[in-house]
Amino acid sequence: MKQLLYISLLIVLFTSCKSSSPIVTTKEKISKSNTNSSNRRTNKLIDEIVDSASKNIGVKYKYAGTTKSGYDCSGLVYSTFSEFDIALPRTSAEQAKTGTDLGKNTEEAKKGDLIFFKTNNRSKINHVGIVIEANDHEIKFIHSSTSKGVIISSTKQSYYKNTFAQLSRILE
């Protein structure tokens, strides 16, 4: 009888205990792990794209060019993303319709985004580059200019500041 009383007391004691920490299921752990892993893969891919484009610095401008013998602006973007099996349209105007349109929201700009311009007083987008660095006040991008070939430029330069049209995110 005394033994039965102790067992009953132990049962009541253990059943009244409650854990104060939240239970995280294995499924939730896997989901968080997959998200982090996916972000790391995307960031690695973005770094590889920017590195690949940067290897072309100094390559001359060539109208409709898509090779190391010469690039036009959209040809550089098209060829660089193609190296990583990411299909983009061939022209800057069509590339601007791809991905997530961030508008002129420079605070949203991230490495790997595309940056578009309307140059020479044109009403439609006719120039594109790949963002390589972004902060609140400046976006640096790699592109192929008609005068200097593949170079890095900045939205702090008045020409690009005045002709900036849009940002687009290709890789989420």
Q: What is the pLDDT of residues 111-146, one digit of tens each?
A: 999 999 999 888 999 999 999 999 978 999 999 999
Q: Which is catalytic among the residues 46, 49, 59, 73?
A: 73
Give residue-wise pLDDT tens across range 89-98. Answer: 999 999 999 9
**Ranges 19-28, 141-150, 161-170: which has the least confidence:** 19-28
Mean pLDDT of the chain: 86
Query: pTM (2 decimals)?
Result: 0.80
Please say whether the beta carbons of 167 and 131 come within 8 A. Answer: yes
Q: Which two tokens stand for residue 22?
A: 């939240």
Radius of gyration of the chain (CA): 26
In the structure, what pLDDT confidence band is assigned to residue 24 with cuts at 50, 70 and 90? very low
Please say whether the beta carbons of 132 and 109 come within 8 A. Answer: no
Is 143 marked active-site?
Answer: yes
pLDDT of residue 25: 40
Q: Which is catalytic among the residues 111, 118, 127, 140?
A: 127
Residue with the larger pLDDT of the pair 33 and 164: 164
pLDDT at 162 > cutoff 70: yes
The two most distant CA atoms of the chain are separated, in Å, by 99
Please say whether the beta carbons of 170 and 88 come within 8 A. Answer: yes
Is 127 marked active-site?
Answer: yes
pLDDT at 108 > cutoff 50: yes
In the structure, what pLDDT confidence band is assigned to residue 37 with cuts at 50, 70 and 90? confident
Q: Which one-letter amino acid corresponds to residue 131?
A: V
Q: Which is catalytic among the residues 111, 118, 140, 143?
A: 143
Is 137 marked active-site?
Answer: no
Please say whether the beta carbons of 149 and 59 come within 8 A. Answer: yes
Please say whether the beta carbons of 113 and 102 come within 8 A. Answer: yes
Q: Which helix (H) or strand (E) covers residue 10, if one does?
A: helix 2-15
Using a pLDDT cut of 90, give the percent of the chain over it. 74
